[in-house]
């Protein structure tokens, strides 16, 4: 971040410039643990395992290469996506409650 844009559209140079890498904590952990996604790290593993206790299908990470037909791959991708959405909502809700 180098400039400030005011309401009138004018731009002024900031007194202190910063670099935002976009590398949040989850992404840093993913890189350090050499995982394929943030959901494959030990940050999300306990949440994923807890969801499995209530779900009718186990968590099948679709980023693992398997020899399945196209329909089974799509079904597993849909299940994985659902798990990840629920896990992310649980994580963000936890932060909201903690506030």
The residues spanned by each domain of the chain are: 3-98
Residue that wins the pLDDT comparison between 99 and 77: 77
Q: Please report the pLDDT score of residue 27 as a whole number.
A: 93
pLDDT at 63 exceeding the cut of 60: no
- Of 55, 16, 22, the C-alpha closest to 85 is 55
In three-state secondary structure terms, 32 is helix
pLDDT band at 65 (very low <50, low <70, confident <90, very high): low
Confidence category of residue 23, pLDDT binned at 50, 70, 90: confident
pLDDT of residue 62: 57
Q: Phi and psi (nearest 5°) for 79?
A: -65, -45
């Amino acid at each position: 971040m180098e400039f400030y844009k005011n309401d009138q559209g004018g731009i002024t140079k900031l007194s202190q410039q910063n670099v935002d890498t976009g590398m949040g904590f989850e992404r840093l952990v993913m890189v350090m643990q050499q995982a394929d996604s943030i959901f494959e790290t030990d940050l999300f593993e306990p949440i994923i395992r807890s969801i499995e206790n209530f779900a009718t299908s186990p968590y099948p990470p679709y980023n693992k290469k398997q020899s399945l037909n196209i329909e089974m791959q799509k079904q597993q991708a849909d299940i994985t996506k659902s798990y990840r959405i629920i896990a992310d909502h649980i994580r963000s809700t936890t932060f909201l409650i903690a506030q």
